[in-house]
Amino acid sequence: MAWIVKNSATQQIDKRDEPYLDDTLRAELEAEIIPRYPTRQAATLPVLHALQHKHHWLPHQALAEAAGFLGLHPSEVLDTATFYEDFRLQPMGQYLIMVCQSLSCELMGHTSLVDALRDKLGIEPGGTTDDGRFTLLTVECLGSCGTAPCALVNETLHESLTIENLDKVLNELP
C-alpha cells in the first residue's frame, strides 16, 4: 500500500555500535553509484537496495546512516523508504515467499497456492513462521503472466507453479 506511511513517530530505534553502512560499502557506493547522478539524493534507491541486500531488511539505524551518507535528513530517507513495497522496515523470515495475486495469476489459480502455503507453513499472508525461516506475502503483478501462477522466493522467480512444484522449491531451499 504505497500511500500508507508506516508508523514512525512513536517507534523506538534500536541502536547498535557496529554501523550497517560500513566503510567498505561506503567506499564502494561513493565510487560506483554517487558519480552516476547529479544529486546525492538520487542515489537513495541504490543505497537502500545495497543495504537491504546485505542485511535482508532496513533497520531505522541503517536508514539514518544512509541519510548521513546522502546528505539528507533521516526523515527524507524514511519518507522515500516507506513508499516502496520492496523496502522492508521490519525483520523478515530468511525466505520471503511472494505469491503474485494479480489478474492472470488469479485466473490461473494462485488461490490454491496461497491456501497450500497457509497449511504447510501455518501462517497467514503477512506472517512469519516461528522459526524465522519463512515469511509469506501476496504481492501484485510480477511480470510473469504467461507462466502464471508465479512467486518470487527472495530474488528468484518461480514460474508455472503447481502446489507440488512449489512444495519442491521450498523443500530444496538450503
Partner 1 sequence: MSLQEPVLCQRIPTWPWGDPADRHLIGLDEYLSTGGYAALDKALAMQPTEVIAAVKESELRGRGGAGFPAGMKWGFLPPEDGKQRFLTVNADESEPGTFKDRLLLDFDPHLLLEGIAICMHACRLDTAYIYIRGEYHAQAKTLQKAVDESYKHNVFGENSKLGRINDRAPQCYVHRGAGAYICGEETALLESLEGKRGWPRNKPPFPAIAGAFARPTIINNVETLAIVPAIIDRGPAWFKSMGKDRPEGAPPAVPASFGPKLYGISGHVNRPGVYEDDLGIKVSTLIETHGQGMRGGKKFKGAIPGGISMGILGPDQYDAELDFDIGKKYGCLGLGTAGVIVMDEDTDMVAVARNICRFFSHESCGQCTPCREGTGWMYKLLTRIEAGGGTSKDIDLLLELSGSMGSMPGTTICGLADGANWAVRTIVNKFRADFEAKVRKKPHSRLRVLPVGVG
User: Which part of the chain contacts partner 1 (CB under 8 A), choosing from 8-16, 89-97, 149-157, 161-169?
Assistant: 149-157
- The verdict on 126 binding partner 1 (CB under 8 A) reads no
Residue 77: Cβ-neighbour burial (10 angstroms; 0-12, 13-18, 19+) = buried
- The verdict on 26 binding partner 1 (CB under 8 A) reads no
- The verdict on 135 binding partner 1 (CB under 8 A) reads no
Element (H, E) at 60: helix 60-70
Which listed residue (38, 119, 130, 171) binds partner 1 by CB under 8 A? 38
Q: What is the 3-state secondary structure (H, E, C) of 66-115?
A: HHHHHCCCHHHHHHHHHHCCCCCCCCCCCEEEEEECCHHHHHCCHHHHHH
Determine the residue type at 31.
Answer: A
The CB-of-127 to partner 1 minimum distance in angstroms stands at 18
Residues of this chain that bind partner 1 (CB under 8 A): 1-4, 36, 38-39, 41-46, 48-49, 70, 79-80, 82-87, 101-104, 106-108, 139-148, 152, 155-157
